[in-house]
Amino acid sequence: MSAEANWDPGAYARNARFVSDLGAGVLDLLAPKPGELILDLGCGDGALTAKIAEAGAEVIGVDASPLMVEATRARGMEAVVMSGEALTFQSDFDAVFSNAALHWMRDIDAVLDGVWRALMKGGRFVGEFGAHGNVAAIMTALRAVLGRRGQEMESPWYYPTAQEFRARLEAHGFLVDRIDVFGSPTQLPTGLEGWLSTFAFPILRGVDDGQRAQVVSESEALLAPVLRDSEGRWTADYVRLRFYASKSH
């Protein structure tokens, strides 16, 4: 099953509404203006796409998940099914915006090529996604639990340092106006199990069905001392990278 097929808008709303809620800061950095045409890259269920439109801009969402595109269209937004690694736009947009999506796109050079082509001269690329060290405790626990079963684990995500991502942007011709990395401890509304089912499916789908619940349980036991408080609330160890870059020529 492809990764795109695992995105369930209903489950996403229950387990991960914090993703769009936490996007307020990067949306402020985008500062959409009336009359602009903006591409929302990895639009998910369209929560932030709608916020961009509320500012008066015209916005088009793209996502690799047909179900998420349907959810965006259900909000009255224009959206198309398209991989971020294969964008087909040509000098169309005043800005490209992306929140919590770029770390799912492993061929980041193909993404940046597509964004560069999509932007008009002077256009801006503004986004936020996972940085180096994001969910490090969760990854360490999963690696340990799977290792007990003789299974190796590779990260399915692209989590660069600020220096690495700046170099990638500059190599593709972008002028980097701002790039910041910061910790963002994030409370999980449905606990670690909800987070794992929503986001760690590329890892868990490699586990036998009969073992999956045990893998989650063992991971919770390892992580509870550091990520669960005395009242049973779980907080993920998020580290985010936020940037503002321009197409200078």
pLDDT exceeds cutoff 90 at 208: no
The structure tokens listed for 232 are 């049973």
The secondary structure of 22-61 as a DSSP string is TTHHHHHHH---TT-EEEEET-TTSHHHHHHHHTT-EEEE
Which pLDDT tens digit goes with each residue over 140-154? 999 999 999 999 998
**Least-confidence region, from 134-138, 207-211, 212-216:** 207-211
Helix (H, G, I), strand (E, B) or coil at 83: coil
Q: Look at residue 16 in the predicted model and tell me its pLDDT.
A: 47
Instruction: Report yes or no: 61 and 87 within 8 Å, Cβ to Cβ.
Output: no
pLDDT higher than threshold 70 for residue 2:
no
- Is residue 247's pLDDT more than 70? yes
Whether the predicted pLDDT of 15 surpasses 80: no
Question: Would you state the pLDDT for residue 209?
Answer: 83
Query: Nearest Cα to 189, choosing from 233, 240, 138?
Result: 233
Write out the two tokens for 34. Answer: 């009336």
Higher per-residue pLDDT: 78 or 16: 78
| Complete domains list, the chain, with CATH | 3-247 (3.40.50.150)
Which of 227, 137, 139, 234 lies closest to 191 in space, CA to CA?
Answer: 234
Rounded to an integer, the average pLDDT of 118-130 is: 97
- Contacts for 210 with CB less than 8 Å, ≥ 6 apart: none
What is the per-residue pLDDT across 41-60, written as a single tens digit (0 to 9) for each? 999 999 999 999 999 999 99
Which pLDDT belongs to residue 173? Answer: 96
Quote the pLDDT of residue 8. Answer: 59
Please answer whether residues 124 and 244 qualify as being in contact, where contact means their C-beta atoms are separated by less than 8 angstroms. yes
